[in-house]
């Protein structure tokens, strides 16, 4: 019976009307609607405000008016060390409920979200903002702006170059947003832009009052190899290296240093006053004006070599006062040399004032004047006809220049090199650096010239040849070559004669050939030009009683003597002129000795 009732009751029971908590379903629905109205309506992925209700070392509890509070890591509020309960902060709703039914929010994301909107507004409006310099990075600084890490390039920190970026780390500075990359969400800020705006007004005031000759105070902004840039209070000017000091300046760093304050004078500027030339040395009196008034040409001075060039050296005898020692005034030698052969930069040298022009502020000096002039007693040391040793220095087409001693050079004319050898160029006779003996022929002290000779060391063989190879004399010779329609004939004692082609005809009508040995008659003898003209034809065309024959000491092996008529003629000439030969035996002995000496020299 009970089962039936239960079964029936189960079937007929109104479960919807049952309320375990004492409320009917209708009442519960009404209460639920009332509760929902007390909660804040929030959406995911949006920024809302919340109130801090508790702060601990690790977490911050925030009430956003939702069913549950949000928990945020305390590290997200590191920038705000004074955070406390009751503070209102922005949070970003990541998720209304996680797996545990917990609200997920983020303060950092909220800051980033709002900061990105704000920074774009600032770029558009040009508003000046304040940021915190977090750290240094390559090429600049990282700045926290509204929670966004922005980049401050080194060139945008200040109007002047910054060498130490670390001094700005940890400080708050004002900036202008100058660039935003929307794709990569990069922000670039500038502090320099604020300074430039302030300086622009100052610059206009300064430029409007510029005048040549005006003296202003400035600060060394930058130093280059060619000059120094000076900040005149928003306007830059350049002091060229030549306007830093009256003396020589190798680099501007020798005179000034960065951030140094100094007075400068305006030398010039362009029409727009964008380029301003400044001077520093012009504020000091010129050193030439303070130069000793008693200093005169011929005085001895001492100074330091400051500049070297191939043509000479500049010597500073006082600060800003320099004299030039030309290379020609460094030695009595006339050879081309460089100033580096005598001195180096930094050397202290003594010199004699050669010229002095105070108006042009120029001075020439010399150091060779401190040494004795070798030409002062040239006639006594190198008298005419005396013999000396000299060193070959160089050649010309007309002779050899030799050095007798430092500062004393002489010339050996090509015609004074050898009595016999015909020299086309002096390089055939000697080499540069060779030492050779010379004889002084002539001295021109006024023009510092000495004429020298080498062949004069020996007796002139042509004086002897003149007695042997007189016109009309007959000698045996060998044709060694044909040249310019003439034959070159080797005569006794190493002498060569010229036989024109028409005089090479033999008695049988044929022409003599190279390597033939024949009798030749001297038809012309010129001692000055060292020229002997001979003829074989004349030996048989003219009478044999007029012929004088001189046979060579040694004939050429294998050479022929010509026709029979020529042989008989030679014998006749020899027989008929024994008397003449006897008169020249002494000369022949001397000639033979001279020949041996010359052959040994060759």
Q: Provide the pLDDT for residue 377.
A: 77
Q: Give the closest residue to 378 by CA, choosing from 402, 405, 418.
A: 405
Q: Provide the pLDDT for residue 524.
A: 92
How far, in Å, CA of 547 to CA of 470, rounded?
A: 11
Show the DSSP H helices in 150-278 as ranges.
Answer: 192-208
Nearest 5°: the CA angle 494, 503, 573 is: 65
Burial state string for 22-47 with b = 16 or more CB within 10 A and e = fewer than 16: eeeeeeeeeeeeeeeeeeeebeeeeb
Distance of CA 8 to the CA centre of its chain: 118
| Averaged pLDDT for residues 494-519 | 89
Q: Provide the pLDDT for residue 535.
A: 93
Q: Provide the pLDDT for residue 335.
A: 67
List all residues 6 or more positions away from 386 whose beta carbon is below 8 Å from its beta carbon: 439, 440
Contact 171, 134 (CB under 8 A): no
How far, in Å, CA of 572 to CA of 545, rounded?
A: 8
DSSP code for 81? T
Would the pLDDT of 414 be above 80? yes
Burial class of 534 by CB neighbour count within 10 A (0 to 12, 13 to 18, 19+): buried
Query: Residue 397: left if φ>0, alpha if ψ -120 to 50, beta else—which one?
Result: alpha
> Lowest mean pLDDT: which of 420-429, 521-530, 555-564?
555-564
What's the farthest any 2 CA atoms get from each other in the chain? 200
Tokens of 550: 């001189």
Would the pLDDT of 357 be above 80? yes
> Lowest mean pLDDT: which of 97-101, 266-270, 379-383?
97-101
Q: Residue 37 — very low, low, confident or very high, per pLDDT cuts 50/70/90?
A: low
Comparing 432 with 568, the larger pLDDT belongs to: 432
* Half-sphere CA count of 305, side-chain side, radius 13 A: 20
Element (H, E) at 321: strand 321-326
Report the predicted TM-score, pTM, of the whole model to 2 decimal places.
0.41
Q: Provide the pLDDT for residue 324.
A: 92
| Averaged pLDDT for residues 522-546 | 80
Residue 206 DSSP SS3: helix
Domains of the chain: 47-111 (2.40.50.140), 126-195 (2.40.50.140), 209-283 (2.40.50.140), 287-370 (2.40.50.140), 378-457 (2.40.50.140), 461-601 (2.40.50.140)
Q: Residue 23 — very low, low, confident or very high, per pLDDT cuts 50/70/90?
A: low
Element (H, E) at 570: helix 564-576
Q: Provide the pLDDT for residue 565.
A: 33
How far, in Å, CA of 243 to CA of 255, rounded?
A: 11
According to the per-residue pLDDT averaged within each range, which of 223-227, 341-345, 591-595 is highest?
223-227
How far, in Å, CA of 279 to CA of 265, rounded?
A: 5
> Lowest mean pLDDT: which of 9-23, 198-212, 257-271, 515-529?
9-23
Comparing 586 with 321, the larger pLDDT belongs to: 321
How far, in Å, CA of 180 to CA of 150, rounded?
A: 9
List all residues 6 or more positions away from 106 whose beta carbon is below 8 Å from its beta carbon: 72, 76, 91, 92, 94
Contact 239, 233 (CB under 8 A): no
Nearest 5°: the CA angle 183, 189, 195 is: 155
Whole-Å CA distances, 166 to 137, 139, 156, 260, 373 = 10, 12, 15, 21, 68
Tokens of 103: 């609200």
Residue 552 DSSP SS3: coil
Percent of the chain with pLDDT over 70: 82
Residue 145 DSSP SS3: strand
Tokens of 537: 């034809």
Contact 47, 110 (CB under 8 A): yes
Would the pLDDT of 16 be above 60? no
Q: Over the stretch 191-224, which tens digit does the pLDDT of each residue have?
A: 888 887 777 777 777 777 788 888 889 999 899 9
Burial state string for 263-281 with b = 16 or more CB within 10 A and e = fewer than 16: ebbbbebeeeeeebbbbbb
Q: Provide the pLDDT for residue 40.
A: 60
Tokens of 599: 């052959």
Tokens of 496: 């060569």
Contact 492, 552 (CB under 8 A): yes
Q: Provide the pLDDT for residue 499.
A: 94
Q: Provide the pLDDT for residue 7.
A: 45
Would the pLDDT of 233 be above 90? no
Q: Give the closest residue to 235 by CA, choosing from 197, 192, 273, 188.
A: 273
Q: Over the stretch 367-405, which tens digit does the pLDDT of each residue have?
A: 888 887 777 778 888 888 888 888 888 888 888 898 888
Q: Provide the pLDDT for residue 544.
A: 44
Show the DSSP H helices in 67-191 as ranges.
Answer: 107-125
Nearest 5°: the CA angle 238, 242, 245 is: 100
How far, in Å, CA of 507 to CA of 500, rounded?
A: 16
Q: Give the closest residue to 304 by CA, choosing from 294, 291, 319.
A: 319
Q: Considering the chain, what is the average pLDDT of its residues? A: 79
Q: Provide the pLDDT for residue 446.
A: 79
Cα dihedral across residues 198, 201, 203, 206: positive or negative = negative
Q: Provide the pLDDT for residue 238.
A: 92
Q: Over the stretch 545-600, which tens digit does the pLDDT of each residue have?
A: 444 444 443 333 333 333 333 333 333 333 333 433 333 434 445 555 555 555 55
Nearest 5°: the CA angle 63, 64, 69 is: 45
Comparing 527 with 238, the larger pLDDT belongs to: 238
Q: Provide the pLDDT for residue 229.
A: 93
């Amino acid at each position: 019976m009970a089962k039936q009732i239960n079964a029936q009751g189960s079937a007929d029971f109104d479960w919807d009307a049952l309320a375990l908590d004492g409320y009917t379903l209708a009442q519960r629905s009404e209460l639920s609607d009332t509760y929902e109205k007390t909660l804040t309506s929030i959406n995911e992925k949006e920024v809302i405000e919340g109130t801090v209700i508790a702060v601990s070392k690790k977490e911050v509890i925030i009430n956003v008016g939702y069913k549950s509070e949000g928990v945020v890591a305390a590290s997200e509020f590191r920038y705000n060390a004074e955070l406390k309960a009751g503070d209102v902060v922005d949070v970003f709703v990541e998720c209304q409920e996680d797996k545990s039914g917990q609200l997920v929010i983020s303060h950092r994301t909220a800051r980033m979200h709002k900061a990105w909107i704000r920074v774009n507004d600032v770029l558009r409006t040009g508003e000046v903002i304040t940021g915190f310099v977090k750290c240094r990075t390559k090429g600049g600084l990282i700045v926290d702006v509204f929670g966004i890490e922005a980049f401050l390039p080194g060139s945008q920190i200040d109007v002047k170059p910054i060498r130490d970026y670390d001094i700005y780390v940890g400080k708050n500075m004002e900036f202008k947003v100058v660039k935003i990359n929307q794709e990569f969400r990069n922000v670039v800020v500038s502090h320099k832009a604020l300074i430039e705006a302030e300086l622009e007004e100052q610059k206009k005031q300064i430029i409007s009052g510029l005048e040549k000759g005006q003296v202003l105070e400035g600060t060394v902004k930058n130093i280059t190899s060619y000059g120094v840039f000076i900040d005149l209070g928003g306007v830059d000017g350049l002091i060229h290296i030549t306007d830093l000091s009256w003396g020589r300046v190798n680099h501007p760093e020798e005179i000034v240093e960065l951030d140094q304050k100094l007075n400068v004078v305006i030398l010039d500027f362009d029409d727009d006053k964008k380029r301003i030339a400044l001077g520093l040395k012009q504020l000091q009196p010129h050193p030439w004006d303070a130069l000793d008034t008693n200093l005169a040409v011929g005085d001895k001075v001492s100074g330091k070599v400051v500049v070297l060039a191939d043509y000479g050296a500049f010597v500073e005898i006082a600060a800003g006062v320099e004299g030039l020692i030309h290379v020609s005034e460094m030695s009595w030698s006339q050879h081309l040399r460089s100033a580096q052969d005598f001195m180096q930069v930094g050397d202290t040298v003594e010199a004699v004032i050669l010229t002095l022009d105070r108006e042009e502020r120029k001075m020439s000096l010399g150091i060779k004047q401190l040494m004795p002039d070798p030409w002062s007693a040239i006639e006594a040391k190198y008298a005419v006809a005396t013999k000396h040793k000299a060193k070959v220095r160089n050649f010309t087409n007309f002779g050899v220049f030799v050095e007798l001693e430092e500062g004393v050079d002489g010339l050996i004319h090509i015609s004074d090199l050898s009595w016999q050898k015909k020299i086309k160029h002096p390089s055939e006779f000697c080499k540069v650096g060779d030492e050779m003996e010379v004889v002084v022929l002539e001295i021109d002290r006024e023009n510092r010239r000495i004429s020298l000779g080498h062949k004069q060391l020996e007796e002139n063989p042509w004086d002897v040849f003149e007695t042997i190879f007189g016109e009309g004399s007959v000698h045996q010779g060998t044709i060694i070559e044909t040249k310019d329609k003439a034959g070159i004939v080797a005569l006794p004692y190493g002498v060569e004669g010229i036989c024109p082609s028409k005089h090479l005809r033999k008695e049988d009508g044929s022409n003599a050939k190279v390597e033939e040995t024949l009798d030749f008659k001297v038809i012309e003898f010129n001692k000055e030009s060292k020229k002997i003209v001979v003829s074989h034809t004349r030996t048989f065309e003219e009478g044999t009683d007029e012929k004088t024959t001189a046979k060579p000491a040694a004939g050429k092996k294998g050479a022929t003597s010509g026709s029979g008529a020529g042989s008989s003629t030679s014998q006749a000439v020899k027989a008929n002129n024994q008397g003449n030969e006897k008169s020249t035996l002494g000369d022949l002995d001397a000639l033979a000795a001279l020949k041996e000496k010359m052959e040994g020299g060759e």
